[in-house]
Amino acid sequence: MKMGKYHRRKRSFLKRFLNGLIAGALTIALVLSFIAPAKAAPRVDFIDVSHWNKEGGLPLSFYQTLKAGGIDGVVVKVSDGSSYIDPAASVNIANAKQAGMSVNAYHFARLTSVSDAESEARWFDKQLQYVGFDKLKDGIVVADVELKTASKAKLTEYTNAFISELHQLGYPEVDVYSGSSFYQSSLDPSKLSVSDPWLARYNGGAKEPAWYNGNRGAWQWSSSYKFAGISGNFDVSQDYAGKYSNTNTAPNSTPTKVVKKIGSVSLVNWLKSKGRAWSYASRAKLAASYGITGYRGTAAQNLALLSKLKSGVKPAPKPKATVSAAKTYTVRKGDTLGKIASKYKTTVSKLAKLNGIKNVNLIRIGQVIKLSGAATVKKATKQPYTVKKGDSLWAIAKVKKTTVKALKSKNKLKSDLIFPGQKLKY
């Protein structure tokens, strides 16, 4: 009996002890849940895309999925500098439009002067027309300013010139994209004609960046976002000002989560019904006229081309690359002289000669490469030094930063004896 009572008491004590531990743990968890709530991720209001996401452009189904999920906006890369067009731009713009998204476009700027900025703006305008962007029915256009090609004041001036030229070309709203740090250190926000830009800052959490002067535009908060069921990483942004995802300001778009309905989905059948040539070669030629480069007959390309044909809009003439307009190129990570030569339709030897480059395998990030113009002039031959009264080889060597031995060698002197009026190489 005594042993049984002892064990009962022991079990009762252990039960009370364990219950106390569990209750304490629950209390701590409850307290912590109030102290440190889970961080909510920033919103994904729009994405930005280029050929880096998919060389031939993203398919219609991709944009339909995003639109159905409440992501209303996309910013498509269209051009770069004064001679480059993104090969996926036409397909991305057409398929995003078909899904009912608010379609915006951006240009990677390489601004080196006011005239260069205006030239780049005109190139951007021509490419926008070529790939089917409608300045009055689609969204806004953006200057992507990330290269420090001039002083803070000058780069701000060049950016404003780019924006002004686009306004004069008929684009009602022009914005600026940049890194948050670059925007504050390399541009002068107080002098910039855009006051609430689209800035990038990746801090790995839900905390909003400290916006310059409290202005709020859009925040690109990730460059490696993954959508469920969709392969690849994407740049995503939160749209505070409602410029990029506002379907009310883009007549081509549809209300949130409303995906546009499309009719015929067969390009070949549509062409046949219209009595038009439908062979692969014919489709490739037709695609090129609408800015769809590298046609391979993919679903993304076919549906993009079909939408352009059904819209009844005539293709714009392909702008000719004006290499002369791009007078310089700033070297970026991954560049080689060969890649730059290929891009601007020149040769490595010509670039090397123009820029006085001795080792064609050695260029550095940020280096400005001349693409045209006169070759780099070699240093002028040093004029001989005229010996004055009281001069000595030692004194001349010190002034000209050389040695007595070098002076004697270059001038074939057998002794230290020199005389006024004598010409000495150094």
Average pLDDT over residues 254-277: 87
Ranges of each domain in the chain: 1-37, 46-311, 328-370, 385-424
Task: Name the average pLDDT for the chain.
Answer: 83
The domain made up of 46-311 has a fold known as TIM Barrel (3.20.20)
In words, the CATH class of domain 385-424 is alpha beta
At 22, is the pLDDT very low, low, confident or very high (cuts 50, 70, 90)?
A: very low
> Mind listing the pLDDT tens digit for each residue in 228-264?
888 899 999 999 988 999 877 778 889 988 998 877 6
For residue 408, what are its two tokens?
A: 């004697």
At 379, is the pLDDT very low, low, confident or very high (cuts 50, 70, 90)?
A: very low
Q: 343 versus 284: which is more confidently predicted?
A: 284
Same fold, 46-311 and 328-370: no
- The long-range contacts involving 157-161, CB below 8 angstroms and separated by at least 24 positions, are 157/114, 157/191, 158/111, 158/112, 158/113, 158/114, 158/116, 158/117, 159/109, 159/111, 159/117, 159/187, 159/192, 160/191, 160/192, 160/193, 161/111, 161/114, 161/117, 161/118, 161/121
pLDDT for the residue 381: 52
Sheet strands (E) in 132-284: 141-144, 174-179, 198-200, 218-225, 234-239
374's enclosing H/E stretch is none
Q: 30 versus 4: which is more confidently predicted?
A: 4
At 5, is the pLDDT very low, low, confident or very high (cuts 50, 70, 90)?
A: very low
Q: 333 versus 83: which is more confidently predicted?
A: 83
Average pLDDT over residues 117-130: 94
> Mind listing the pLDDT tens digit for each residue in 237-246?
999 988 999 8
Q: Is the pLDDT of residue 383 over 50?
A: yes
Q: Please tell me the distance from the alpha carbon of residue 101 to that of residue 92, in angstroms, as a whole number.
A: 11
At 23, is the pLDDT very low, low, confident or very high (cuts 50, 70, 90)?
A: very low
Of the spans 98-102, 317-321, 325-329, which averages the highest pLDDT?
98-102
Q: What is the CATH code of the structural domain delimited by 328-370?
A: 3.10.350.10
**Residues paired with residue 395 on neighbouring β-strands, in sequence order:** none
Residue 193 in contact with residue 216, Cβ under 8 Å?
no
pLDDT for the residue 48: 97
